[in-house]
């Protein structure tokens, strides 16, 4: 009976989207804190070290020197990825919540003390996202979010510079169900944090075409999220995850051209995958094409009277440097043309704005320039 009640509640939450949608109340002064950002990955999420989420990792992966470097480059905020599962697990142990909050508090304080804003991005693995198809788990996750939001909305945390992102890249095939789940999680966050701004994604991987399906939440203090990696065949060339043929690609140029794509296609084993590469060459991916894609999200936001942030975009460093820089500049320019806030993926990972030199993180000045900073 309870499960049927929750299902009905989620459906009603979804249907209510089509009713009165309040005008956005996100202050311009608050939006000004998150104009140009960078993602901090592999710190509180995506930890692939077999030792996992340890005190030593939290205290050494990102340091005060890294935060100072981010500030010096001209970024105004960071998107802090937090995998909720280790935190939820820690809360089941004696003093586990206090210990985990201690590590996360130290990171948050370091970021805010540097004059940066922070997007707290709930960034789980796919197995936790799949659990959101279960109503009981939605309630458990909502309760978890309520507690996190309450913790970081109370003094000494700065309400104007702490933002709560419902979920990174949902993987929900039923977009109508996601509407109800998103509404439930947003309500829980709002119960914990009456004044902070919430960041809300669409149902499937935060794609820009997913954005145009989304109906705004009834909460007016919300910024809407999308990610942009178009086209993945260029931005993820050489990558060994998700799509098998990406790893065969190399030296695929941006802007795209047919001759280069045909040459790269010869190195790809499967005929269907070669076709995808050839199509990339024929599709004329360049600045105007990027603009046409981002314009769809911008038009949606304008129609609905809500602000946007593109808080992931980037190119895997396997691409040729000049092509990567050209793509970054075109995407950043289009976002700023539409007054869309942004955060590049990422700081020190395989898409990073820094490189390692003599064991130290050093800014890639060409990337910083492509982002229009300094």
Q: What is the spatial distance between Cα 231 and Cα 254, in angstroms, rounded to a whole number?
A: 10
Res 163: pLDDT? 98
* pLDDT value, residue 21: 61
In order of 125, 126, 128, 134, 300, the CA distances from 131 in angstroms are 11, 9, 5, 5, 29
Query: What is the spatial distance between Cα 121 and Cα 167, in angstroms, rounded to a whole number?
Result: 7
Q: Please give the model's pTM, rounded to 2 decimal places.
A: 0.93
**b/e map 62-95, b = 16+ CB within 10 Å:** beeebbebbeebebbbbbbbbbbebbbebeeeee
Going from the first residue of the chain to its last (374 residues), give the mean pLDDT of each consecutive group of 10, the final group possibly shorter. 49 46 88 98 94 95 98 98 97 93 98 98 98 98 98 97 98 95 98 98 89 91 97 96 89 97 96 96 97 96 96 97 98 98 96 94 98 94
Report how far residue 229's alpha carbon sits from residue 207's, in angstroms, rounded to the nearest whole number.
8
Per-residue tokens: 32: 């000004």
Report the C-alpha gap between 149 and 163 in whole angstroms. 9
What does the alpha-carbon distance between residue 9 and residue 22 come to, in Å, rounded to a whole number? Answer: 21
How are beta strands 341-344 and 308-313 bridged, if at all? parallel
Q: With contact defined as beta carbons under 8 Å apart, do 229 and 313 qualify?
A: yes
Which residues are registered as beta bridge partners of 363? 354
Q: Which residues, 6+ apart, have CB-to-CB distance to 236 below 8 Å?
A: 229, 242, 243, 246, 316
pLDDT at 23: 85
Structure-block tokens of residue 234: 């260029």
User: Are 195 and 279 in contact, with CB atoms under 8 Å apart?
Assistant: no
If we measure between CA atoms, which residue out of 235, 228, 234 comes closest to residue 281? 234
């Amino acid at each position: 009976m309870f499960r049927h009640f929750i299902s009905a509640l989620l459906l009603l939450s979804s249907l209510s989207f089509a009713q009165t949608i309040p005008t956005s109340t996100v202050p311009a002064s608050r939006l000004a804190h998150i104009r140009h950002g960078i993602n901090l990955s592999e710190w509180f999420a995506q930890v692939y070290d077999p030792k996992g989420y340890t005190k030593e990792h939290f205290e050494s992966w990102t340091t005060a020197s890294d935060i100072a470097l981010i500030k010096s480059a001209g970024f105004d905020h960071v998107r802090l990825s937090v995998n909720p599962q280790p935190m939820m697990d820690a809360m089941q142990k004696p003093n586990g919540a206090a210990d985990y909050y201690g590590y996360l508090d130290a990171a948050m304080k370091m970021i805010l003390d540097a004059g940066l804003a922070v997007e707290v991005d709930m960034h789980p693995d796919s197995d936790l996202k799949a659990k959101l198809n279960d109503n009981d788990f939605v309630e458990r996750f909502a309760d978890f979010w309520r507690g996190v939001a309450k913790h970081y909305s109370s003094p000494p945390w700065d309400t104007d510079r702490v933002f709560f992102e419902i979920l990174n890249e949902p993987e929900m095939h039923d977009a109508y169900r996601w509407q109800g789940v998103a509404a439930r999680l947003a309500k829980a966050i709002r119960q914990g944090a009456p004044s902070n701004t919430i960041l809300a994604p669409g149902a499937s991987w935060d794609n820009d075409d997913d954005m145009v399906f989304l109906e705004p939440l009834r909460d007016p203090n919300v910024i809407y999220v999308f990610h942009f990696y178009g086209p993945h065949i260029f931005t993820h060339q050489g990558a060994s995850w998700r799509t098998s043929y990406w790893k065969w690609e190399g030296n695929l140029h941006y802007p795209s051209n047919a001759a280069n794509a045909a040459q790269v296609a010869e190195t790809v084993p499967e005929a269907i995958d070669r076709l995808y590469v050839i199509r990339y060459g024929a599709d004329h991916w360049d600045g105007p094409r990027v603009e046409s894609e981002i314009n769809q999200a911008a038009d949606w936001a304008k129609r609905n009277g809500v602000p946007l942030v593109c808080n992931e975009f980037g190119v895997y460093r396997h691409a040729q440097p000049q092509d990567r820089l050209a793509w970054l500049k075109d995407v950043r320019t289009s976002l700023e043309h539409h007054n869309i806030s942004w955060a590049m993926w990422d700081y020190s990972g395989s898409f990073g704005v820094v490189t390692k030199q003599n064991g130290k993180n050093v800014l890639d000045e060409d990337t910083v320039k492509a982002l229009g900073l300094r």
